[in-house]
C-alpha cells in the first residue's frame, strides 16, 4: 500500500524545490536585465540558449529573441566552435566533475555579430549540475574584449618591431636567428643573410633633415617587403643598416635577391631626395658557426662593398658555403 503521507511529502518537497528554482531564476533575470555584461543560460542537452540578457545588443547587434533562436553553429565560427566544444567535452567528462564540480571556466574566442563580422568575446562559464553532478546547463557572463585584444596585439608588436620603420628589431632578429641556425644544423637546411647599408645616409639627413631621412627609411622597408617572402625576416639592425634572414635559401638565390633589391633602389626615386643606393653583403650560414662569427662575416662583406665603390654587392664564394648545400 502506498503511504499517502510520504507521497504528499515528496510532492511538497519537489514543489518547494521548483518554487525555489523559479525564484532563483527570477532573481538571476532581474540582475541580468540590468547588467552591462551579457548574461545568458544554455541548455546542454540542446545547446540552445534559454535566456539572454538585453545587453546582448551591445556585443552582437541582435536582440535576445534573435540570439535565442540561433544554434551554436550560427553564433560561433568553425575555429571557435572547435574550442568551445572541446571545453564542453572536458566538463561533461567524469574526470572534470570529480576534480571540481563547482569550478568556473573562462574562454576567450571570436564570435559572429549579427552582420557576420567577428568580435572577440570573453565568457566566464558556471555549470548547473544534477544530483549526479553532471552538467545540465551553463550560466555565462560575456563581454566584448575586442579593444583589449587589439591593444595586447599592438603591445606585442611594439615589443618585437622597430617603431620607426615597422621592421623587426634587433632583439627579435637575434632570437629568430638562433632558432633558425639550430634548425639548419639539425636538418642541413641552407640559411643565408643579407646586410645592407644605405650609401651616404648622413648626407641625406644633413641636407634634407631627419624627417625626410625617416621617410626614406620607411620607404626602403616597404620596397624590401614587396620582394621578400613571408617566411623571410627583415630587421632594422642600426640607424640605416638592415638585415634580411633568408630561410631555406642557399647563397646563389640570396645574391640574386640582393641584385634585385639593388636594381629596384637604382630605379626608384624617393620624394625630395631622388635616387639612393645601398651596399650589400651576402653570406650563407656555415654548420655549427656561432652567431657572432656569422654576423661578423656579413658585416665585413657589406663594408667590402662600401670600399669597392658602394652601390654594389659583396658575397662569399659559393665554395665557402656548406658542402651539403645544393
Residue % of the chain over a pLDDT of 70: 83
Supply the CATH number for residue 173's domain. Answer: 3.30.70.270
- Give the per-residue pLDDT at 132: 78
**Residues 303 and 170 placed together within one structural domain of the fold:** yes
From 150, 179, 200, the end of a domain falls on 150
Lowest-pLDDT choice from 93-107, 150-164, 274-288, 298-312: 93-107
User: Is it the case that residue 323 has pLDDT exceeding 60?
Assistant: no
- Give the per-residue pLDDT at 133: 78
- All three cell numbers of 23, joined, read 525564484
**Residues 142 and 166 placed together within one structural domain of the fold:** no
Rounded to the nearest 10°, the torsion over CA 163, 166, 168, 171 is 0
Rounded to an integer, what distance in angstroms lies between the CA atom of residue 83 and that of residue 105?
Answer: 13
In a domain, 8, yes or no: no
**Residues 108 and 243 placed together within one structural domain of the fold:** no
User: Which three-class secondary structure string do you get for the chain?
Assistant: CCCHHHHHHHHHHHHHHHHHHHHHHHHHHHHHHCCCCEEEEEECCCCEEEEECCCHHHHHCCCHHHHHCCCHHHHCCHHHHHHHHHHHHHHHCHHHHHHCCCCEEEEEEEEECCCCCEEEEEEEEEEEECCCCCEEEEEEEEEECHHHHHHHHHHHHHHHECCCCCCECHHHHHHHHHHHHHHHHHHCCCEEEEEEEECCHHHHHHHHCHHHHHHHHHHHHHHHHCCCCCCCEEEECCCCEEEEEEECCCHHHHHHHHHHHHHHHHCCCECCCECCCEEEEEEECCCCCCHHHHHHHHHHHHHHHHHCCCCCEEECCHHHCCCCCC
240 is catalytic: yes
Rounded to an integer, what distance in angstroms lies between the CA atom of residue 164 and that of residue 180?
Answer: 26
User: 39 is in which domain, residue-wise?
Assistant: 22-150
Residue 13 binned pLDDT confidence (cut-offs 50, 70, 90): low
Lowest-pLDDT choice from 94-108, 225-239, 269-283: 94-108
In a domain, 5, yes or no: no
Rounded to an integer, what distance in angstroms lies between the CA atom of residue 297 and that of residue 300?
Answer: 5
Q: Are the CB atoms for 280 and 313 separated by under 8 Å? A: yes
**Residues 140 and 289 placed together within one structural domain of the fold:** no
Catalytic residue from among 240, 241, 272, 308? 240
**Residues 106 and 190 placed together within one structural domain of the fold:** no
In a domain, 15, yes or no: no
**Residues 208 and 283 placed together within one structural domain of the fold:** yes
**Residues 298 and 219 placed together within one structural domain of the fold:** yes
Supply the CATH number for residue 65's domain. Answer: 3.30.450.20
Residue % of the chain over a pLDDT of 90: 69
User: Is it the case that residue 117 has pLDDT exceeding 90?
Assistant: yes
In a domain, 113, yes or no: yes
**Residues 94 and 222 placed together within one structural domain of the fold:** no
In a domain, 314, yes or no: yes
Average pLDDT over residues 222-244: 96
**Residues 171 and 141 placed together within one structural domain of the fold:** no
pTM of the model: 0.66
In a domain, 87, yes or no: yes
From 150, 179, 211, the end of a domain falls on 150
In a domain, 10, yes or no: no
**Residues 136 and 166 placed together within one structural domain of the fold:** no
- Residue 127 has φ and ψ, to the nearest 5°, of -115, 125
**Residues 166 and 128 placed together within one structural domain of the fold:** no
* Overall number of domains in the chain: 2
- Give the per-residue pLDDT at 158: 84
Residue 275 binned pLDDT confidence (cut-offs 50, 70, 90): confident
Amino acid at each position: 500500500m502506498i503511504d499517502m503521507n510520504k507521497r504528499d511529502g515528496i510532492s511538497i518537497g519537489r514543489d518547494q524545490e521548483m518554487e525555489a528554482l523559479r525564484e532563483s531564476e527570477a532573481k538571476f533575470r532581474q540582475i541580468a536585465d540590468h547588467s552591462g555584461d551579457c548574461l545568458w543560460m544554455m541548455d546542454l542537452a540542446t545547446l540552445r540558449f534559454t535566456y539572454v540578457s538585453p545587453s546582448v545588443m551591445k556585443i552582437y547587434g541582435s536582440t535576445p529573441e534573435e540570439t535565442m533562436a540561433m544554434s551554436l553553429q550560427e553564433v560561433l565560427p568553425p575555429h571557435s566552435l572547435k574550442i568551445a566544444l572541446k571545453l564542453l567535452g572536458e566538463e561533461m567528462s567524469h574526470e572534470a566533475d570529480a576534480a571540481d564540480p563547482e569550478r568556473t571556466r573562462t574562454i576567450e574566442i571570436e564570435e559572429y555579430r549579427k552582420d557576420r563580422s567577428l568580435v572577440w568575446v570573453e565568457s566566464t562559464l558556471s555549470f548547473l549540475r544534477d544530483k549526479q553532478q553532471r552538467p545540465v546547463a551553463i550560466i555565462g557572463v560575456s563581454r566584448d574584449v575586442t579593444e583589449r585584444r587589439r591593444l595586447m596585439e599592438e603591445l606585442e608588436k611594439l615589443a618585437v618591431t622597430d617603431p620607426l620603420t615597422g621592421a623587426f628589431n634587433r632583439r627579435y632578429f637575434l632570437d629568430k636567428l638562433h632558432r633558425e641556425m639550430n634548425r639548419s644544423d639539425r636538418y642541413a637546411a641552407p640559411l643565408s643573410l643579407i646586410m645592407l647599408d644605405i650609401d651616404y645616409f648622413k648626407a641625406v639627413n644633413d641636407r634634407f633633415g631627419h624627417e625626410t631621412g625617416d621617410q626614406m627609411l620607411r620607404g626602403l622597408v616597404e620596397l624590401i617587403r614587396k620582394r621578400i617572402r613571408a617566411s623571410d625576416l627583415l630587421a632594422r639592425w642600426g640607424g640605416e643598416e638592415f638585415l634580411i634572414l633568408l630561410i631555406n635559401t642557399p647563397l646563389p638565390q640570396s645574391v640574386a635577391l640582393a641584385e634585385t633589391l639593388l636594381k629596384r633602389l637604382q630605379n626608384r626615386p624617393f620624394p625630395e631626395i631622388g635616387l639612393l643606393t645601398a651596399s650589400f653583403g651576402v653570406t650563407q650560414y656555415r654548420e655549427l658557426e656561432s652567431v657572432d662569427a656569422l654576423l661578423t662575416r656579413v658585416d665585413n662583406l657589406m663594408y667590402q662593398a662600401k670600399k669597392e665603390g658602394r652601390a654594389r654587392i659583396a658575397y662569399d664564394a659559393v665554395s665557402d658555403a656548406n658542402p651539403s648545400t645544393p
